């Protein structure tokens, strides 16, 4: 008799291509959650996702309210922020500040905290070499948590024996 055990995720590979405050959360929460459960996790940051691995980058991620009808209305307004207001100077920092406030209020970690704890739990961070060239970001501008700089071939090798690979 063959016993079919429930499958387990042994290795996860996440490709991070977004560099905004909101879209930095999903990969880092999945990475931290999976690493806490003993899974080997690889985070490959490419294109705008490289922002997360830049020195000072994780601290200064922003979110712009422009062209984002999916964002909730500000608490002080009875309606959604109109785009004609959202484009005014200061509105991106304000939206960022408001989102950070909500995150703090519910006790969620900040992005730099998530990177630090993920790294401590053994999550591997990889920077994308062609993106570093494109965005003129040499290795010394990356945070020390970065393990190495790899390209598409390196990423495909990581993904080859991963049980779960997500493009974020």
Q: By CB neighbour count within 10 A (0-12 exposed, 13-18 middle, 19+ buried), where does 13 fall?
A: buried
Which residues touch 155 (CB under 8 Å, ≥6 apart)?
13, 15, 44, 46, 126, 128
Q: For the CB of residue 75, give the shortest distance to its own copies in the complex, in Å.
A: 9
Cα three-residue angle 96-60-115, rounded to 5 degrees: 105
Q: State the maximum Cα–Cα separation within the chain, in Å, rounded to a whole number.
A: 68
C-beta pairs of 87-91 under 8 Å, 24+ apart in sequence: 91/64, 91/65, 91/66
Q: Two tokens at 106?
A: 């519910």
Which of 15/146 has CB closer to its own copies? 15
Question: Under rule CB under 8 A, how many of the chain's residues touch its own copies?
Answer: 69
CB 168 within 8 A of CB 15: yes
Which of 125/155 has CB closer to its own copies? 155
> Does the footprint of its own copies cover residue 41 (CB under 8 A)?
no
> Does the footprint of its own copies cover residue 94 (CB under 8 A)?
no
> Using the rule CB under 8 A, which residue among 55, 56, 73, 88 binds its own copies?
88
Which of 15/127 has CB closer to its own copies? 15
> Using the rule CB under 8 A, which residue among 102, 113, 120, 148 binds its own copies?
102
Q: Interface mask (CB under 8 A) for its own copies, residues 110-149, using x and -?
A: --------------------x--xxxx-------------
Question: Given strand 146-150, what is the order of strands in its sheet?
Answer: 146-150, 124-128, 40-45, 11-16, 164-167
Binding site residues, its own copies, CB under 8 A: 6-9, 15, 17-20, 22-23, 25-26, 29-30, 32-34, 37, 39, 46-48, 51, 61-72, 82-84, 86-89, 91-92, 96, 102-103, 106, 108, 130, 133-136, 151-153, 155-156, 159-161, 163-168
């Amino acid at each position: 008799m063959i016993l079919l055990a429930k499958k387990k995720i042994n290795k996860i590979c996440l490709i991070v291509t977004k560099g905004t405050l909101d879209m930095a959360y999903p990969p880092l929460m999945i990475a931290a959650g999976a690493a806490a459960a003993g899974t080997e996790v690889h985070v490959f940051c490419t294109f705008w996702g490289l922002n997360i691995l830049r020195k000072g980058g994780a601290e200064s991620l922003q979110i712009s309210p422009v062209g984002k009808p999916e964002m909730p209305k500000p608490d002080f307004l009875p309606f959604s922020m109109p785009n004609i207001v959202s484009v005014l100077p200061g509105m991106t920092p304000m939206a960022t500040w408001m989102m950070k406030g909500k995150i703090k209020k519910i006790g969620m970690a900040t992005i730099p905290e998530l990177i630090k704890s993920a790294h401590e739990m053994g999550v591997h961070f990889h920077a994308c070499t062609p993106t570093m060239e494109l965005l003129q970001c040499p290795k010394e501008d990356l945070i020390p948590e970065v393990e190495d700089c790899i390209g598409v071939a390196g990423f495909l090798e990581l993904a080859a024996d991963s049980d779960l690979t997500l493009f974020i």
